[in-house]
Amino acid sequence: MGDYKTKLVIAAIDFGTTYSGYAYSFRHILKKDPLKTYENIWTDDNGKLQTSKAPTTVLFEPNGEFHSFGYERLKRNLKLRDDQGKKILAIDVFAAAIKFLKEQLFEQLTLKVKDMEKTDIYWVITVPAIWQYSAKQFMKEASLKAGIPADQFTFALEPEAAAIYCKQYEASRCVDEDGTTTIKSFAPGSQFMVLDLGGMTFLHFLIIISVLSAGHTH
């Protein structure tokens, strides 16, 4: 883990089971507003669907070289077949996806900041809290393979990141001494709940609710 305080940009990659994406902000902006971040907007082939995350799908060439990611993978009229017995190392898939997100963000930054260097970025890779050490080590090796130096990234547990965001978010109604009402971040002693519903988790939840509702319909 390196010193993020010396970096110009703090960037986070959220590599999910269903969707992945990244967000970033400049260090001087975060000092003024911890919630001020920038996200990439992904677009599908038709240009109609715009989301802050893209499907976690990676397409490789027959020789194992990276081809495309996310909507770039989905928009092509190619079908992947698994009946030919071809295999590829999982770490190569993860590394290729992380590298794609890393390179795309760097291209965006070079358009905004003159003389931007890759050493100016400090990366945060989110991981589920339930992951064991071996899984986190796998992600570390994949990040290194993607070209992110060991002193330029760290891991963040997904629920902890969500909790920190909620703590900073101005969602509490406060009445000042003069009687005026203002919206501030949670005061000490306040309580809130973080629910982590991933893409597939939420889909399964909707299916269960649908089944239960159908069962009570007469």
Give domain limits for the chain.
4-170
| Domain range 4-170, CATH architecture | 2-Layer Sandwich (3.30)
Largest Cα span, the chain: 74
Coil, strand or helix at 68: strand
Q: Is residue 48 pLDDT above 70, yes or no? A: no
Token pair for 160: 């902890």
pTM: 0.58
pLDDT-above-70 percentage for the chain: 72
pLDDT confidence of 79, banded at 50, 70, 90?
A: very low
Token pair for 60: 């490789």
Q: Is residue 216 pLDDT above 70, yes or no? A: no
d(CA 165, CA 169): 6
Query: For 119-123, 136-140, 168-172, which range has the lowest pLDDT when averaged over its residues?
Result: 168-172
Helix (H), strand (E) at residue 180: none
pLDDT value at residue 203: 55
pLDDT value at residue 74: 39
d(CA 84, CA 62): 11
Eight-class DSSP state of 187: P
pLDDT tens, residue by residue, 123-154:
998 887 777 777 788 888 889 999 999 999 98
